[in-house]
Amino acid sequence: MTALVLLVVLLPLLGGLTVAVGASSFLTGTAMVAGGLGAFASAVVLAVRVSGSGAFHTWSGFIYVDSLGAFFALVVSLVVVLASFGSVAYISAEEERGEFSHFQVRLYFVFFSVFASAMLAVFLTGNLGLLWTLIEASTLASVVLVGLEAKARSLEAAWKYVIISSFGVTIALVATLFLFYSASALHLSADQRLTWAYLFAHGHSLAPASMRLAFLLAVIGYGTKVGLVPMHTWLPDAHSEAPSPVSAMLSAGLLNTGMYAIIRYQAIARAALGTAYPSSILLLFGFLSVFLGVMFLVLGGNFKRLFAYSSVEHMGVISVALGFGGVLGIYGALLQVLTHAIGKAVLFLSSGHVVLGYRTRESAKVRGMLGSLPLAGAVLLLASLAVAGSPPFGVFLSELTIVRAGFAGSAVVGPVLAGLLVLLLVIGFISLLATTLGMVAGDGPPAGSVVAYPKLSGRVLAAVPLVGGLAALAVLGLWVPVGLNELIMHSVKVVL
């Protein structure tokens, strides 16, 4: 099992290592994709084994895998696979155009690998101190990717990203300190006082005052990484300025690492303080995020910023689901994590086609994609339908579950909140679709004038994640596979 955990964490580094020793771009691409696929396969095996035989821990809790961790590792390793395909195509296309120097390309692959590896490691540790360190490490690795273009705008975005999210992560450090402090009365060793499983099991004997503070600070601190309003301000800039595969990794991977930390803290807080306090905090931040995300969707403009605000909205929906709580709420939240991750990865990767083909990020300047870039246009339309929550895609199913969880909640408040959520989601649906329909339909530039990927190999590599991801989303909308359903049910039991 230890070997399996190490495989999940270390295999994504394969691509970075190959490029660091100066291998050819073909070899690097192969290693990137193979490393991602290997990590995904290991995560699947890990999930199956954990689902069957319960949590696994070793190295005094520094390695700790339960169903929840395995589920998140599965989701993020899938995102890494999709983004690896996208990266190889996107970066080599940019290099051939002369947008990126050879040095920038090497920098990209090395830090992409480190970023992926740090994110996956977050889910496989039970020590909340190590979890903090890994989340900070993933921030540092991704800063380089955000600022890679080294233009004034991307450097500004990188600055904003690192200073806001590091401020947030510093707050999360204070949360970790208070959590550690709240366990003072327990006779545990220093490392055990930070191990999630011990804290969860002894939740009732944690000092309530400092636990309350620890949870609030954790939601603010890790919420900065998640992009919860009002700590979300770095998110649209970073997502819009980063190369598209990195935007996919940020939106579908990084945000989930923060959400994972919040789920862990919520479980401890629920054990220590009861349901009401953590739920009300998550509902507050969740609704703020959904509201603001939807409002910016209405405004339109830069389509990558738009997709970023859609991430703010979706992270808000997940927080609301966690706030609704219960088996249904947490099940819906986890399903939403999976479906949003796949949908947003596909959406950002297809936006990479647009950026390369039209050389703009303004949605008003993109018209007639169905004629000029048929595959990317079709995928962009279908993926935005999926992300906005239209049947028959997975997001519809998870959002339906969340709304049901709201109606199943407390007598008056639950249904009112669920109704409000539906209203906001409908507004979001209309606004997102209005923008992407405008980009896809209409009279575009003549065929042949817009070329995203000049080479056949690039076209094939870039098409794989789009088609694969969209197919997975369609399947998830109709039917949640038995094994996956079981894994999510086990994950729900872990935190309840």
Partner 1 sequence: MVELSVAVTGSVERLSATSLAGTLVTLSSVLMLLAAFACLGSKLFSRYVVYYAFQSVVLAFACGVVAFHFQSADLWALAFITLAVKGVAIPLATRGLLLERLELRRDVALSTGLSTSLIIGALLTGFAFLVIPPADLPHGVVATSAVALSTALVLLGGLCMVVRRHIVAQLIGWLITENGVFLGAITLVATFPFIVEAGIFLDLVAAVLIMIVFVSGITRSLAEATASELRELRG
Determine which residue in the list 167, 277, 291, 407 makes contact with partner 1, applying CB under 8 A: 167
Determine which residue in the list 58, 189, 280, 457 makes contact with partner 1, applying CB under 8 A: 189
If binding is defined by CB under 8 A, does position 160 make contact with partner 1? yes
Smaller CB distance to partner 1: residue 167 or 407? 167
Determine which residue in the list 45, 170, 414, 420 makes contact with partner 1, applying CB under 8 A: 170
Minimum separation from the CB atom of position 178 to partner 1 (A):
8
Binding mask of the shown chain, residues 274 to 313, with x at each position contacting partner 1 by CB under 8 A? ----------------------x--------x--------
Both tokens of residue 241? 């300025």
Binding mask of the shown chain, residues 193 to 222, with x at each position contacting partner 1 by CB under 8 A? -x------------x---------------
Neighbour count for residue 408 (Cβ, 10 Å): 16
Minimum separation from the CB atom of position 155 to partner 1 (A):
4
Q: What is the DSSP string of 50-63?
A: HHHH--EEETTTTE
Smaller CB distance to partner 1: residue 25 or 170? 170
Q: 350 near 379, Cβ under 8 Å?
A: yes
| Contacts made by residues 231-234, CB under 8 angstroms, sequence distance 24+ | 231/164, 231/168, 232/289, 232/292, 232/312, 233/160, 233/164, 234/157, 234/160, 234/161, 234/164, 234/165
Site size toward partner 1, by CB under 8 A? 46
Minimum separation from the CB atom of position 423 to partner 1 (A):
24
Question: Can you tell me which residue has the tokens 């991977």?
Answer: 253
Q: How far apart are CA 148 and CA 109, in angstroms?
A: 11
Determine which residue in the list 17, 107, 174, 441 makes contact with partner 1, applying CB under 8 A: 174
* φ, ψ (nearest 5 deg) of residue 63: -105, 120
Secondary structure (3-state) at 127: strand
Q: How far apart are CA 226 and CA 477, in angstroms?
A: 25
SS (H, E, C) 181-221: HHCCCCCCCCCHHHEHHHHHHCHHHCCHHHHHHHHHHHHHH
Determine which residue in the list 184, 275, 360, 449 makes contact with partner 1, applying CB under 8 A: 184
Smaller CB distance to partner 1: residue 96 or 156? 156
Binding mask of the shown chain, residues 8 to 47, with x at each position contacting partner 1 by CB under 8 A? ----------------------------------------
- CA torsion sign, 170 to 172 to 177 to 181? positive
Specify which residues 57 forms β-bridges with.
64
Secondary structure (3-state) at 83: helix
Smaller CB distance to partner 1: residue 85 or 309? 309
Q: What is the DSSP string of 348-402?
A: HHHHHHHHHHH---BGGG---HHHHSHHHHHHHHHHHHHHHT-TTSHHHHHHHHH
Determine which residue in the list 153, 359, 365, 455 makes contact with partner 1, applying CB under 8 A: 153
Minimum separation from the CB atom of position 174 to partner 1 (A):
6
Smaller CB distance to partner 1: residue 137 or 437? 137
Minimum separation from the CB atom of position 15 to partner 1 (A):
22
If binding is defined by CB under 8 A, does position 156 make contact with partner 1? yes
Minimum separation from the CB atom of position 159 to partner 1 (A):
5
Question: Can you tell me which residue has the tokens 């969340």?
Answer: 402
Q: Which stretch binds partner 1 (CB under 8 A): 149-157, 278-286, 433-441, 469-477?
A: 149-157
Q: What single letter denotes the amino acid at residue 402?
A: I
Q: 281 near 216, Cβ under 8 Å?
A: yes
Residues interacting with partner 1, by CB under 8 A? Answer: 129-130, 132-133, 136-137, 139-140, 143, 147, 150, 152-153, 155-160, 162-163, 166-167, 170, 173-174, 176-177, 180-181, 184-187, 189-191, 194, 207, 232-233, 235-237, 296, 305
